[in-house]
Structure 1
């Protein structure tokens, strides 16, 4: 089951998405034409009335991947998983900083370090975190151009308000309601790979286990918690983990090392969630917020698999959810290159200069093209991303590999470069 197809009328007004078979029929009859490949969008050759159906855009923001879903009448009709490049941005900035500092220390010709002359605006975020907000907003605005979205649901707050179900609830019971433990348990499942850390078994009920037993002074901090199957949990009991795994030193070292893993991804989501929420309010659409516990509760209650786009569909209040697609569009942020005109070596000295011209023979590196080679040693059809050269002989990278030396005369542009890679 693939994603539904976005539909625009002759004046580029968004209509309700249609099933792929309906889109195929419209294209064959000549009533529509392809407007965009990713996400696949067709444009009709006549003007239509504005749709009246309610379509919700649901978001499950994450540190590495953000789930996106379109839900129409409790049916998930379109899904996508947006892969961020925040870590890549951080690594690039770190490399640049190290090179600059090394040049300053060698007293080579370079500007002096500047201090106390820059002020950060209110709500400032590091580039690696700001990227997550801006990339998500790019796709929210892009989807709103192709679909008549009526409201947006986003996972925002940590804790659920139990007072909605029971106004008299108070004290400890207020926090330990129907969703108690879902946030911590979900974090541990992701951290430890959804399998028992001692025997490695999967697809069985897993329990939260203390590395250092509470009876011996252990705490409930995430760094002291792991997951295990019931058998291993009972075998360990309150033993010290070093005694329990005395015959498996490599596994012991792995568990102790991974238990001290930082909460970097959790901190990234918590830092950017309000910035994303404030940006979403600027769209003018009604915003619904939900908790991570409610999302998991809905997914478990409906017996759905763990996927980012399915989690997005389960955000907020939900009675039922029928999946009309199980093949989400995978969107990987790659950026538009960099502004560095002079390439440098590992010591920071210039070794090459880059051309200012990005277009060759009407094509740009990174664009999606289709090449139909009719003669020569490379006869065939090639579909993928193009790497342009001034000579006019391009390389095409596809899932089958890279094909070199394809003449631009055989190439036809499918979609311009927009800073993202697409696949299913």
Structure 2
């Protein structure tokens, strides 16, 4: 890792090694201007030799990966964890307000006639991700010289990857269409029969063929019907009938 460096006029320079930054701070030739990421500012005039720096951003739903490179060297890399509690926080606020109204205590009056949305409106959870992502991009822009930004955006049509001929309303009618949830679909697909002992009339569970801890999903094609008599800790051990996940 490196320490970000700016000159005494606030202009970014090439990052330096932690050892050099530590010596500059000990000799009172620099001061700390940022702690996350860590950056210092020089307190004396110096040459401003710089190189082109690329900021690479890999977007995700829960994390954003950021890598800073110059020529063939990786100067810094890290992962930003995005907030996942925005929707829950808004629902909690709504519950508190509703409770205050029912108790006839002091509250903000409900607003129903003025709830217009501006152009470009995004749901609060998405807006939080966008603002958080650009917050970190702007922060690194201020710490590196001549930055060039590269953003990797992955778009996948998962349903079309499974069924290349899918079109139209079929996108709303997936594997579990018409069932309460994926478990009931799996039970019906397996004819309410345990796939281990091949018996009916027992209490049923769904078992992951490829365990979640190994990268398996909750899709129906990764689930199988198993009764409680067979869905035991012993059968999940390595070498047993359910231990292949």
| TM-score calculated relative to the size of structure 1 | 0.38
Residue 49 of structure 1 pairs with residue 48 of structure 2:
yes
User: What is the correspondence of 1:14-413 to structure 2 with a 5 Å cutoff?
Assistant: 14-44=12-42, 45-49=44-48, 51=50, 53-87=51-85, 89-158=86-155, 197-198=208-209, 223-226=219-222, 241-243=224-226, 247-248=230-231
Deviations 1:205-241 (A, max 9, x none): x7989xxxxxxxxxxxx72244xxxxxxxxxxxxx82
Aligned-pair distance for 1:108? Answer: 4.4
Q: Normalised by the size of structure 2, how large is the TM-score? A: 0.62
Counterpart CA distance in 1 for 2:234 and 2:125 is: 33
Deviation at 1:247, TM superposition (A): 0.8
Structure 2 unpaired stretches of 5+: 157-163, 165-206, 236-245
Could you tell me how far apart the structure 2 residues matched to 1:93 and 1:110 are? 16
Shift of residue 126, structure 1, vs aligned partner: 2.2
Structure 1 residues 118-164: Cα deviation after superposition (integer angstroms, max 9, x where no partner): 210122112222111111211111111111143111121425xxxxx
CA distance in 2, matches of 1:33, 1:207: 46
- Across the two proteins, how many residue pairs are aligned to each other? 186
Cα–Cα, structure 1 residues 27 and 116, in superposed 2: closer, same or farther, change >3 Å?
same
- Closer, same or farther in 2 for the Cα pair 1:131/1:10, shift >3 Å? same
Residue by residue over 1:228-261, the C-alpha shift from the partner in whole angstroms, topping out at 9 and shown as x without a partner, is xxxxxxxxxxxx8225986116899xxxxxxxxx
Cα pair 1:56 1:153 within 8 Å, conserved = yes
Query: Cα deviation per residue 1:266-288 (whole Å; 9 max; x = unaligned)?
Result: xxxxxxxxxxxxxxxxxxxxxxx
CA contact (8 A) 1:6 1:42 kept: yes
CA contact (8 A) 1:57 1:149 kept: no
1:155-174 alpha-carbon deviations (Å, 9 max, x no partner): 21425xxxxxxxxxxxx8xx
Equivalent position SS for 1:241: strand
Q: Distance in 1 between matches of 2:37 and 2:154?
A: 30
Greater relative CO, 1 or 2 (CA 8 Å, sep 6+): 1
